[in-house]
Amino acid sequence: MSAVLQVNGLEVSVRGERGERIKIVDNVSFAASKGEVLALIGESGSGKTTIALALMGYARRGCTVSGGEILIGDTDVLALSRAELFGFRGNRVSYVSQSAAAAFNPSKTIMDQVIESAVLHRLSSKTEARAKAIKIFESLALPNPETIGNQYPHQVSGGQLQRLMAAMALMSDPEVLVLDEPTTALDVTTQIEVLRSFKKVVADSGITAVYVSHDLSVVAQMADQIVVLKNGTVREAGATMQVLDAPSDEYTRSLMAAAKSIVRVQPQSLDASDVSPAKPLLELRGVTAGFGKTDRDGMPRFRVLHAVELSLERGSTLGIIGESGCGKSTLARTIAGLHPAAAGSVCLDGETLAPHLSRRTREQLRRVQIVFQNADTALNPAQTVEQVLGRPLAFYHGLSADAARKRIARLLEQVKLPANIAPRRCAELSGGQKQRINLARALAADPDIILCDEVTSALDTVVGAAILDLIAELRRELDVAFVFISHDISAVRSVCDDILVLYAGRTVEIGKRDNFTGGPGHPYTDLLISSVPELRQGWLEETHAKTVAEPNSSLPGNGDLCAFLDRCPVRQVGTCDKTPPPRLTHGNGNEVLCHLGQTKA
Amino acid sequence: MLMILVAKRILIAAFTLLLVSFVIFAITSLLPGDAAQELLGQSATPEIVAELREQLGLNQPAHIRYLNWLGGLLTGDPGTSMVSNMPVKDIIGERLPKSLILAGLTAAVSVPLALLIGILSAMYRDSRLDRALNVVTLSMIAVPEFLVATIAVIVFAVQLRWLPSITIVSPDASFGELARAYALPVMTLCFVVVAQMARMTRAAVINQLDSSYVEMAILKGARPTRIALQHALPNAIGPIVNAIALSLSYLLGGAIIVETIFNYPGVASLMVNAVTSRDMPLLQACAMIFSGAYLLMVLIADIVAIISNPKLRHQ
Amino acid sequence: MTRIQGSGWVGLLLVLMWLLVALFGPMLAHYEVGAIVAPDVFERMGGAHFLGSDYLGRDVLSRLMNGARFTVGLSFGAALLASASGASLALFSAISGRWIDETVSRLMDALISIPGKILALVIVAAFGSSMLLLLLIAAISYMPGAFRIARSLAVNLNQMDYVQVARARGEGRVHIAIFEILPNMIHPLLADFGLRFVFVVLLLSGLSFLGLGVQPPDADLGSLVRENISGLSEAAPAIIAPAMAIATLTIGVNLLIDSLASGGRSVTDEAQR
């Protein structure tokens, strides 16, 4: 079988500050035959997107393809003239990019954009193209295929847009389809539907696909071949099965280790916490918060949190999990007093905290520290590491310069950074280093509780895994309790004792970590858990994860009825859409907000 | 939603204009001298001064005078000129059309030219053309109008003798005469305005060209012209219209120098005269006209931006 | 620091030259400012008088060197005042409560709606045009612009996570403004200061050109253009030289800022009004 796509010794370079050329992709070769899916896997800076774009004969500003050859069929892409390239791109090779929300032009209808390539390349008339687009919409399981194209991009959901972009790419019946992190921006429960439809389309059309991703588990579902990239060079290449079962390269092994979900902490003194005689360290009662104007009862117009309750024991870790927009960050900000609760109470050691932080004492503020997701924006670029860590020491503990220097050295040691990093500016540090400083700043206050808001999600897998290790270690060594907020259930499982599942601002399930391995619990929890791809081939075909439809606002989901109603695969008509769900304690001790447990319990 | 946003903008503009009127009145009424005394000169008897003061309403407290003046403005009667004793309304009424003609001609020439330059340099970003245009436009906005005007006069009127150095427009002038008369002032005004507008247009278009959807269009095989005109431009309308409004509002200030140099009887030169003769009612009215024109242009730009936003248009 | 390149060097050279002239010009001048030294009015360039003579037969080069001091000095002072007061007010407004912020912003919007030259004319009409007043007029005219830029910077920085962290720590508003926000505003504010300077030069020479700025016997570059306007018909260097002097000064500053500010254009273009 001859290769549809062949890349030999590809080299891409950028111009450095002094005009010198720096290679960002060096000597990369791979090939894929018809109907094959080849995955390019790597972390940020591995050059995977640059390679993917080079397949289109395109390099971003400042980059140039400086060597090698790319063959699509018999065509040498790099030898094409400017004019020939216009006829080639989007015709024989097409592209699906990471963020569909950004890749669609906001001021044109979806249909105009989907059929643009077919019309541009004179492959068919507008009418024919429209008819074809509708067929592709159907095959991608998009709702309302006849009319969805008349809408504007902001009117449809992210998961739908991602599939619409795939439709756009398929319009020209390309020989090669490039998918660049096509599901990374999606929630895990949405991702699975999109993966399924991609896989089906690729199989049905016999197209050759290049699948770019950082996520080994996703790649395991999609790819026949894997090419592992690091710093622009190929580290390992081979059939998916072989790479996953017997990785030969050190780096591949470290990627796999980071992708495996491992439990990093053991539950703290089980017997003691079961009895829980003392009052909890942190307790939330009926916390409600939101945005917009407040009504007569002091309730905000757009509610993000609905009567959330939780309690946290000294030295333990509570994981909060949910999809984007579920209110988990607002919850952290409410606890910290940055976003005052409209109702309910936040108690620290039995002492009720003022909703707004300006009314809290310095001592209360010291005991609760917050660590933000994005270390790039959480550290002041104008300050040095020493200044960043020194401020809380002076502010809370009134440490002298000398004592502070010693304490800073100790803090850097705790987060496993060399002491000589102290005089450097935060802007010069790497992402992982910044996140460690971010944690060290929280530790500098000697807090009782650290609120970690998605602290690993902006990091590469390996770096993120190291941060998880660090958190687990800090937990063992220090008597600090963590609230660990994340969208990633395996990260949460790996460092937490208890887990709280947040959906649309409501606690739908809360319980011991070990109970979150596969249900049955709340249908949303089950969906969440069964949607996380596993690091083995064939998982996508086996998993039962399924939703009824995409979120649909036409159902009367508001009020006190179950918020998950319109997506729930096991909803019971007559019960779920009539009466609000009760909060029940299941056999395993989990509290679940759902009707279904009633029959079982 | 759309209408609410538009209505809100109109209300804010109206409120700002009210504040402007207050600021202008406050500055001009904090006069150290006595307007009546000044008008009549030192030789006038105290009785006559007192009578005039009464006549001008200067004995009333400041807030009453402000409200009277504001009421006058709203009903179209901004008072009487202290120097010529004619209603301010009539003086301005005679000059305003001329200013509008000058501004209209300048806009008609400068807007297409600036859009062309801005879009071209955005499309060929960092090319030699773009870099050259960058230095040229950067220099053009830094040049004072009177330098442009004097050089234009020296070249076209003194040396080449092609064009008249002062702009006299007689009512029965032919088109050719009109074009010659307006050539120099319009050229001078365009000089600065075009550069500014072109730079802002370039920035607005580049902002769109950097977006992912433009990269997507490139990857679909669209050519640069199609990308600029079909993809980037529709999304850049808001900022471009804003750029046009801000640049044209610069005309208001630029007109002061240009009308003076070319002896053009517009509102701006009227205002300069009002300053030298300290004719406060006339000055206040002129200042309100210029500020109102600025607010109107910014308001129109805002509304266009709101309407051109697809997220607001298709809900 | 960004490296200066290409046209930036031209700009730097021009700015340095005018800075030297402003500082040492009067010492270097060959002739007394007011002295009538040439036998003829509107002499051509060259000979005893490098830039010819003016409408009274005074040495143009000497008058230019003196005039530059007024133009550069007044404009520098006014721009500094405008930028410093605008930025301080913006910082104060951004960290204060909603009401103060809203009130200050509305007032600045009103001031910005009166075009700079118009506002200057109104103030000149009311208070006259002494040197100090001119400085204040220029500062007031361009302060709202500086405020607007600085406020949008401050508001953006105020949303940054590190400011949230400082707030969550319990830091006071003043500490946050001075230690967390201000250091990250300095760079763009410096670029904006350069632009204010250019605007002020253009405004003040425009006023002087209209006869409403610096009053005789003192003369800035704009007054020099005005007093020699009768030489226009003979294209005398006495009128072209001071006009070119202004242009080279402002162009120099613009070129320098454009090459200094990384992503310079966005800064330059945002500040235009």
pLDDT in tens, B127-150: 889 989 988 988 888 888 888 888
**What mean pLDDT, rounded, does chain B reach?**
85
Q: State both tokens at B23.
A: 């600021």
- Taken in order A446, A451, A453, A455, the sign of the CA dihedral is positive
Phi and psi torsions of A290, nearest 5°: -175, -165
**Hey, are the CB atoms on A121 and B221 less than 8 Å from each other?**
yes
Half-sphere exposure of C20 (CA within 13 A, CB side): 8
Give a three-class secondary structure readout of A58-89: CCCCCEEEEEEEEEECCEEHHHCCHHHHHHHE
Question: Percent of chain B at pLDDT above 90?
Answer: 24
User: In this complex, do C183 and A445 lie within 8 Å of one another by their Cβ atoms?
Assistant: no
pLDDT of residue B151: 85
Mean pLDDT of C219-224: 85
Residues of chain A contacting residue C263, judged by C-beta atoms under 8 Å apart: none
The candidate with the shortest Cα–Cα distance to A209, out of A376, A352, A4, is: A4
Could you tell me which residues of chain C have a Cβ less than 8 Å from any Cβ in chain A? Answer: 160-162, 164-171, 180, 183-184
Contact (CB<8Å) B222/A86: yes
Candidates A380, A387, A426, A434, partner chain C, best to mutate (most C CBs within 10 A): A380
pLDDT recorded at residue A341: 92
Q: Which CA distances in Å does B291 have to A493, B20, B212, B269?
A: 63, 8, 39, 16
B295: nearest CB among C113, C198, C250: C113
Q: In the β-sheet with A282-294, what is the strand arrangement from edge to edge?
A: A300-312, A282-294, A343-348, A351-353
CA distance A58 to B124: 17
More confident residue, B190 or A567: B190
Per-residue tokens: C56 = 């009274």
- Beta strand A498-503 with A317-321 is parallel
Q: What is the pLDDT of residues C106-120, one digit of tens each?
A: 888 888 888 888 888
Are C7 and B278 within 8 A, CB to CB?
no
Residues of C in contact with B252 (CB under 8 A): 115, 117-118
**Among chain C residues, CA nearest to B253:** C117
Asked if the model's pLDDT at residue C149 lies above 70, the reply is yes
Distance of alpha carbon C171 from alpha carbon C185, whole angstroms? 19
* B219 in contact with A, Cβ within 8 Å: yes
Binding partners of B (≥3 Cβ pairs within 8 A): A, C
A375, closest residue in chain C (CA to CA):
C161
Amino acid at A268: Q
Instruction: Tell me which residue of C220, C233, C23, C192 sits closest to C135, measured CA to CA.
Output: C220
Q: Do A463 and A431 form a contact (C-beta atoms < 8 A)?
A: yes
Which of C105, C114, C195 to probe by mutation at the B interface, max B CB count within 10 Å? C114
Instruction: Provide the 8-state DSSP code for A533.
Output: P
What's the mean pLDDT in A64-83?
91
Quick one: DSSP state of residue C234? G
Pick from A405, A396, A409: nearest CA to A445: A396
Give tens-digit pLDDT for A256-295: 888 877 777 765 544 444 445 567 899 999 999 988 888 8
Other residues' Cβ atoms within 10 Å of the Cβ of residue A383: 20
Give the C-alpha separation, A223 to A539, whole Å. Answer: 13
Q: Which pLDDT belongs to residue B41? A: 64
Between CA B249 and CA B243 the distance in angstroms is: 10
Average pLDDT over residues C54-81: 86
Judge whether residue A360 has pLDDT over 90.
yes
B57 confidence band (pLDDT: 50, 70, 90) = low
Phi, psi angle pair for B52, to nearest 5°: -65, -40
Q: What is the arithmetic mean of pLDDT over B253-275?
A: 86
C243 closest CB neighbour out of B138, B144, B200: B144
Q: Which residue shows structure tokens 């006339």? A: B282
Q: Which residues of C touch A366 (CB under 8 A)?
A: 170
Q: 3-class SS at C67?
A: helix
pLDDT of A72 reads 92
> Is C184 within 8 Å of A357 when comparing Cβ atoms?
no
| In contact, C222 and C71? CB cutoff 8 Å | yes
C255–B250: do the CB atoms touch at under 8 Å? no
- Mean pLDDT, range A391-397, rounded to an integer: 93
Q: How far is B58 from chain C (nearest CA, A)?
A: 16
What residue type is assigned to position A577 of the chain? D
CB contact under 8 A, A338 and C164: yes
Choose among B19, B146, B286: nearest Cβ to C106: B19
Task: Judge: A117–B221 Cβ closer than 8 Å, yes or no.
Answer: yes
Contacts of A329 in chain C (CB under 8 A): none
Nearest to A89 among B212, B219, B235 (CB): B219
Give the pLDDT band of residue A180 (cuts 50, 70, 90).
very high
B 186-215 → A contacts, CB under 8 A: 211-213, 215
Are the C-beta atoms of residues A126 and A165 closer than 8 Å to each other? no
Q: How far is CA B175 from CA B117, B168, B172, B179, in A?
A: 28, 13, 9, 6
pLDDT of residue A385: 94
Rg from Cα positions in chain A? 26
Please say if the pLDDT value at position B56 is more than 80: no
Q: Can you tell me the mean pLDDT for B86-90? A: 85
Provide the pLDDT for residue B214. Answer: 93
Average pLDDT over residues B159-181: 74
What is the distance between the alpha carbons of residues C269 and B161, in angstroms, rounded to a whole number?
Answer: 37
Give the residue with greater pLDDT, A278 vs A326.
A326
State the virtual CA torsion across C126, C128, C132, C133 in degrees, nearest 10: 30
Which residues of A are less than 8 Å from B206 in CB distance? Answer: none
> Which of C118, C198, C232 is closest, CB to CB, to B290?
C118
User: Which residues share a beta bridge with A561?
Assistant: none
What the block records as the tokens of A94 is 């097409």
* pLDDT, mean over chain A: 87
Pairwise CA distance, residues C271 & C132, whole Å: 26
pLDDT at C236 over 50: yes
| Beta bridge mates, A21 | A15
The pLDDT of residue C65 is 84
- Residue in B213, B222, B311 nearest the CB of A104: B213
Q: Residue A292 in contact with residue A285, Cβ under 8 Å?
A: no
pLDDT tens figures, A120-130 = 998 889 999 99
User: Are residues C210 and B260, on separate chains, in Cβ contact within 8 Å?
Assistant: yes
Answer whether residue C57 shows pLDDT above 80. no
CB–CB of A89 and B221 under 8 A? yes
Rounded to whole angstroms, the Cα distance separating B189 from B199 reads 16
List own/partner pairs for B131-138 with CB under 8 A and 24 or more apart: B131/C6, B133/B198, B134/C258, B134/C265, B135/C7, B135/C255, B136/B195, B137/B194, B137/B195, B137/B196, B137/B198, B137/B199, B138/B195, B138/B199, B138/C7, B138/C251, B138/C254, B138/C255, B138/C258, B138/C268
Write down the pLDDT at residue C76: 93
Confidence of residue A135 (pLDDT cuts 50, 70, 90): very high
Region B248-268: mean pLDDT is: 84
Sign of CA dihedral B94, B99, B105, B111: negative
Determine, for residues C240 and B250 on separate chains, whether the beta-carbon distance falls below 8 Å. no
C-alpha span between A139 and A124 (Å, rounded): 20
Work out whether strand A208-213 and strand A37-41 pair parallel, antiparallel, or are unpaired. parallel
Strands A343-348 and A351-353, bridge-based pairing: antiparallel
The string of DSSP codes covering B30-96 is: S-SS-HHHHHH-TTS-HHHHHHHHHHHTTTS-HHHHHHHHHHHHHTT---B-TTT-SBHHHHHHHHH
Task: Judge whether B208 and B119 are in contact, CB under 8 Å.
Answer: no
Reported as a single tens digit per residue, the pLDDT across A579-592 is 888 888 888 888 89
The number of C-alpha atoms within 13 Å of A221 and in the hemisphere containing its C-beta is 24
Interchain pair C169, A365: CB under 8 A: yes
The encoded tokens of residue A168 equal: 């756009």
**Closest by alpha carbon to B13, among A465, C106, A471?**
C106
Contact B237, B228 (CB under 8 A): no
Has residue B1 got a pLDDT over 70? yes
Across the interface, do B211 and A56 touch by the CB < 8 Å criterion? no
Q: Do B235 and A120 touch (CB under 8 A)?
A: no
Question: What is the pLDDT, as a whole number, of residue B40?
Answer: 64
Indicate the average pLDDT of chain C. Answer: 83
Task: Tell me whether residue C143 is exposed, middle or buried, using C-beta atoms within 10 angstroms of its C-beta: 0 to 12, 13 to 18, 19 or more.
Answer: buried
Length of chain B: 315
pLDDT of amino acid A449:
94
CA atoms of B226 and C258, how far apart (whole Å): 30
Res. C264 pLDDT band, cuts 50 70 90: very low
Candidates C230, C205, C206, C233; CA nearest to C54 is: C230
Q: Which among A374, A383, A391 has CB closest to C161?
A: A374
A88 to B221: CB separation less than 8 angstroms, yes or no? yes
Question: How confident is the model at residue A273, as a pLDDT?
Answer: 47
Bigger pLDDT: C35 vs A176? A176
Residue B103 pairs with which residues in a beta bridge? none
CA dihedral B131, B136, B137, B140 (to 10 degrees): 160
Q: Name the band, by pLDDT with cuts 50, 70 and 90, for residue A11.
A: very high
Lowest mean pLDDT, pick from A144-148, A347-351, B248-252, B265-269: B248-252
Residue pair B270/B95 in contact (Cβ under 8 Å)? The answer is: yes
Question: What single letter denotes the amino acid at residue B189?
Answer: L
Q: Does B233 touch chain A (CB under 8 A)?
A: no
Check: CB of residue A108 under 8 Å from CB of residue B308.
no
Tell me the count of A-C CB pairs closer than 8 A: 47
Residue A557: the pLDDT is: 43
Interchain proximity B271–C254, CB inside 8 Å: no
Task: Out of A106, A107, A120, name the one closest to residue B220 (CB).
Answer: A120
| Percent share of chain A, pLDDT over 70 | 94
Selected residue of C161, C186, C187 to mutate for chain A interface (largest A Cβ count, 10 A): C161
Write down which chains contact chain A via at least 3 CB pairs under 8 A: B, C
Among B80-89, B219-228, C224-233, the range of highest mean pLDDT: B219-228
**Nearest-neighbour CA in chain A from B11: distance (Å):** 21
Tell me the three state secondary structure of residue A558. Answer: coil
Contacts of B211 in chain A (CB under 8 A): 102
The pLDDT of residue C81 is 95
CB contact A141 to B (< 8 Å): no
Taking alpha carbons only, the member of A558, A568, A556 closest to residue A524 is: A568
- Bridge partners of A288, per DSSP, are A343
C161-189 residue pLDDT tens: 999 999 999 999 899 999 999 999 988 89
Cβ atoms of residues A594 and A561 within 8 Å = no
| Predicted confidence band of residue B38 (pLDDT cuts 50, 70, 90) | low
pLDDT at B309 over 80: yes
**pLDDT over 90, % of chain A:** 49
Q: Give chain A positions within 8 Å (CB) of C180.
A: 380
* Span of A224-233, A253-262, A412-421, B279-288 with lowest mean pLDDT: A253-262
Angle of the A385-397 helix axis to the A431-444 helix axis, nearest 10? 10
Neighbours of chain C (3+ CB pairs under 8 A): A, B
* Sheet strands side by side (includes A63-72): A21-33, A3-15, A63-72, A75-76
Q: By the CB < 8 Å criterion, does B33 face chain C?
A: no
